[in-house]
Amino acid sequence: MEKKKILIITYYWPPAGGPGVQRWLKFAKYLPEFGWEPIIYTPENPSYPLLDESLLKDVPRDLKIVKTTIWEPYQLAEKLNKSNKKFKAGQFDVGKNQSWKSKLSIWVRGNFFIPDARVFWVKPSVKFIEHYLKENKIDTVVTSGPPHSLHLIGLQLKKKIPTLKWIADFRDPWTEISYYKHLKLTKRSDQKHRKLESDVFKNADITLATSYTDAENFRKNGANAVCITNGFDESDSTEKVKKQKGEKAGWTDGEFVKSQNPETADSQTLKSSNPQTHFTLSYIGVLEQLRNPENLWKVLDHLVQTNSDFAQHFSLKFAGRVDDKILEALNGSSLKNHILDLGYISHDKAIEEMQTSDILLITNFPNESSKGIIPGKIFEYLATGKQIISFGPDKADVSKILEDTYAGKHFSYEDFDAVQSFIVQKFELWKKGNLLENTQNIEQFSRRNLTKKLSEILG
């Protein structure tokens, strides 16, 4: 039986790094099993905030990838102000960390590039894709955002070809995402953002959300919304990873050395070849100021100062890109000599670092509107069986997942005593060798099962 064709319009594609690329990379990997032939449309010359060459191995050899050139102003913006590089990943300096250059750059980004700086790819892409769809007899298209300008490609194609089946995939919300309020928008710009978002919701045949709350909110705003969360790929949990579990190559027991990460060359990092000698709490991924769990750092700082047993064994590990202001503050605390900063590492290595940790940290934006955000890394965390400590707004979707899978606990950013109690409890269990891996009910989040659900929605 001939497979049905589906064109996937995505900005993020290997060698791009980070969680944004993995959603449709994994869907494309498994869609052929369910009767679909995916075709990828992506920029020829994108400006990615992160690169991860290891993800290239997940690209199916027979997958058709179509590319066209894109013009985007980020490279110029980075020359004017190095902190502008954060914008590509939706990160901002906030509060006292904002210089006048940052404030100006944020204002320009929010009011001149609507919905984002990739908007200049819309017009040429519509012209190219309209012809490509007809020539290749494709009647189903997916647009994946952010960048949400890609949804404008779908919107214009839908108006030109009313019979086109268009799926708008929102990996993150548009106007409800936490950093939206930091864009310094004029009233007119805000109205334009919301009008475009509404047009997408009302014209897309299906709007995909990555969380239960987002799907509900999208439906309230006129979208035919369905939730398909992100997930974990069983093939990532290789025998190699399992063998390396408990090993940290190249570390020397108990030795304090200078970090090899050039961006944090002044920080001290703790190294150990034996994970049993260190109780390790790890954050894997990108951590920006808007999701900084300052109260957790206070708890850990307090425990290091008041509990000599904890201080002897505790290690705080970062694997990914951590905002320099966060690292600067941590290195000015008692945690300085307990930090291992690996810098950005490949996805494969990230999986290994998860396996060699005792508690995995996940953070979300603290405001109520972000309770529907489910960071993609939580599913890979679940696959390790490790305990998870989460921070974000009350009654968050992440909390529901942790409760359903018995994988850890969710806290608000104001908690102190409860967080300290959780950390101490897990530390005592670790000392006795009883910090068990007891994750349950996670099969629903496997990439293959999620792709099956997607194929059923596509029809």
For residue 435, CA distances in Å to 44, 146, 389 come to 47, 38, 14
List b or e across 57-66, with b for residues whose CB sees 16 or more CB atoms inside 10 angstroms: ebbeeebeee
**Average pLDDT per consecutive 10 residues, the chain (459 residues; last block may be shorter):** 93 91 96 97 92 92 97 65 49 55 69 88 98 97 97 98 98 84 85 96 98 95 97 71 38 30 37 64 93 96 97 96 94 96 90 94 88 91 94 94 94 94 96 81 94 96
Structure-block tokens of residue 128: 């190219």
What residues contact residue 280 under an 8 Å CB cut-off, 6+ apart? 314, 315, 316, 317, 356, 357, 358, 359
Other CB atoms within 10 A of residue 368 CB: 11
Q: What is the pLDDT of residue 347?
A: 86
Helix (H) or strand (E) holding 196: helix 187-203
Q: What is the pLDDT of residue 439?
A: 73
What residues contact residue 312 under an 8 Å CB cut-off, 6+ apart? none
Helix (H, G, I), strand (E, B) or coil at 260: coil
Give the residue from 14, 1, 63, 17 showing the smallest Cα distance to 320: 17
Alpha helices in 278-358 (DSSP H): 294-306, 308-313, 324-330, 347-355
Structure-block tokens of residue 427: 């530390």
φ, ψ of residue 65 in degrees (nearest 5) = -125, 125
Query: DSSP per residue over 13-68, as a string?
Result: -TTB-SGGGHHHHHHHHHGGGGTEEEEEEEESS---S-B-GGGGGGS-TT-EEEEE
What is the pTM (predicted TM-score) of this model?
0.79
Residues linked to residue 71 through DSSP beta bridges, in sequence order = none
**Cα 24 from Cα 28, distance rounded (Å):** 6
